[in-house]
């Protein structure tokens, strides 16, 4: 078992990684909690015991569940259940549950505590940590949300034993990202992420994210590196959002494509050499992921979504590798972006 602190002063909290750690839920609830609202999905078969009275509320599966109307339903349900400001919300699930439950906790009664029991690899290495909550709009992913830090996060790797293959792929895409962010740790580890056990991989990813969030909670600059590979990934997801989706990409699968795209863009801008691009491809392949753009992807359409990405600052902003490591780069030329997308096989 490994415990990693997210050092945020009076909002600091622990992330506990290991086998069977969900049994610690009751111990990690804030003091004074008398009732808990457990938010989960019907397909999630992970038992938790908060040690106090609780109600269970189910949210739909899939990215389409992340809506303002679903947050309203949760808040109304919390009210009917008598949840008080001194009580807590417990999210049991993956990224969708974390985002919905966390945002509902942030806005209900102007903020109640919440704890996350992360049940997917994606949630354990990324989504459950850092306090970013939110829902989607038709115009893009996670455009409405709040920074609301949890009181604790439990990453029980036993819960991953029944994870479907596509969910593994989604988590591995985020892991591939962290393979290039190890310099965020005070003592950069020598052992490559791919060479660690699963529990060690999760713990290292958590440690990297905790260090970055502790240094830049509100994403003023440094925390933006956590979006490595995500600008294209969000565009790919947005282009396929809705009932007329032309391709099916899980978040981590889209991130894997975005990582190789970001490497090729950095190479085009003279920031890294071909060997570094090859390393990105090697890491992505090592996590059994594809770096290929989906068939039918259009450079023009993807550029439009990238310009509306929530990380943009009235220009095209990317997180790119370089001589000083991964960092935000503002004012990237649309011509360069389009050229790289074309190199990767996109339509105009």
Q: Report the catalytic residues.
A: 110, 132, 174, 209, 219, 223, 227, 230, 234, 251
The span from the CA of 211 to the CA of 196, in Å, is 20
The two tokens of residue 74 are 């949760």
Helices (H), the chain: 25-28, 68-80, 95-107, 121-122, 165-178, 198-215, 230-239, 251-268, 274-286, 299-307, 334-343
The span from the CA of 258 to the CA of 147, in Å, is 25
The span from the CA of 300 to the CA of 50, in Å, is 49
Place of tokens 């450079």: 299
The span from the CA of 57 to the CA of 332, in Å, is 44
CA 303 → CA 221, 288, 326, 347, distances in Å?
Answer: 22, 27, 22, 12
CA angle 235, 334, 244 (to 5 degrees): 25
Torsion, Cα 152 155 159 163, to 10 degrees, reads: 120
CA 245 → CA 36, 64, 256, 266, distances in Å?
Answer: 37, 12, 19, 29
CB 140 within 8 A of CB 128: no
Closest CA to 276 of 265, 288, 287: 265
CB 221 within 8 A of CB 228: no
The span from the CA of 279 to the CA of 232, in Å, is 19
The two tokens of residue 274 are 């071909």
């Amino acid at each position: 078992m490994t415990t990693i602190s997210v050092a945020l002063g009076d909002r600091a909290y622990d992330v506990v990684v290991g086998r069977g750690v969900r049994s610690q839920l009751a111990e990690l609830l804030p003091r004074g909690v008398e009732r808990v609202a457990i938010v989960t999905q019907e397909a999630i078969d992970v038992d938790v015991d908060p040690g106090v009275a609780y109600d269970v509320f189910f949210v739909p599966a899939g990215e389409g569940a992340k809506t303002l109307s679903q947050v309203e339903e949760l808040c109304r349900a919390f009210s009917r259940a008598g949840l008080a400001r001194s009580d807590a919300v417990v999210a049991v699930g993956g990224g969708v549950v974390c985002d919905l439950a966390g945002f509902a906790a942030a806005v209900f009664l102007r903020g109640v505590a919440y704890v996350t029991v992360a049940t997917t690899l994606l949630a354990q290495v990324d989504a459950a940590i850092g306090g970013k909550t939110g829902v989607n709009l038709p115009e893009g992913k996670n455009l409405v949300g709040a920074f609301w830090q949890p009181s604790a996060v439990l990453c029980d790797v036993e819960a991953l034993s029944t994870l479907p293959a596509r969910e593994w792929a989604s988590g591995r895409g985020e892991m591939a990202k962290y393979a290039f962010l190890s310099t965020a740790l005070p003592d950069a580890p020598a052992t490559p992420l791919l060479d660690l056990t699963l529990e060690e991989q999760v713990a290292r990813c958590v440690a990297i994210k905790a260090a970055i969030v502790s240094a830049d909670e509100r994403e003023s600059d440094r925390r933006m590196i956590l979006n490595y590979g995500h600008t294209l990934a969000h565009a790919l997801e947005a282009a396929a959002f809705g009932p007329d989706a032309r391709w099916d990409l899980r978040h981590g699968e889209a991130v894997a494509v975005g990582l190789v795209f970001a490497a090729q863009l950095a190479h085009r801008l003279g920031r890294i050499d071909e060997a570094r691009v090859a390393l990105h491809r090697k890491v992505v392949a090592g996590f059994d992921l594809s770096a290929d753009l989906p068939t039918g992807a259009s450079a023009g359409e993807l550029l439009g979504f990238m310009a509306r990405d929530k990380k943009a600052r009235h220009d095209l902003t990317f997180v790119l590798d370089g001589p000083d490591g991964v960092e935000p780069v503002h004012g990237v030329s649309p011509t360069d972006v389009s050229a790289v997308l074309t190199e990767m096989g996109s339509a105009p």
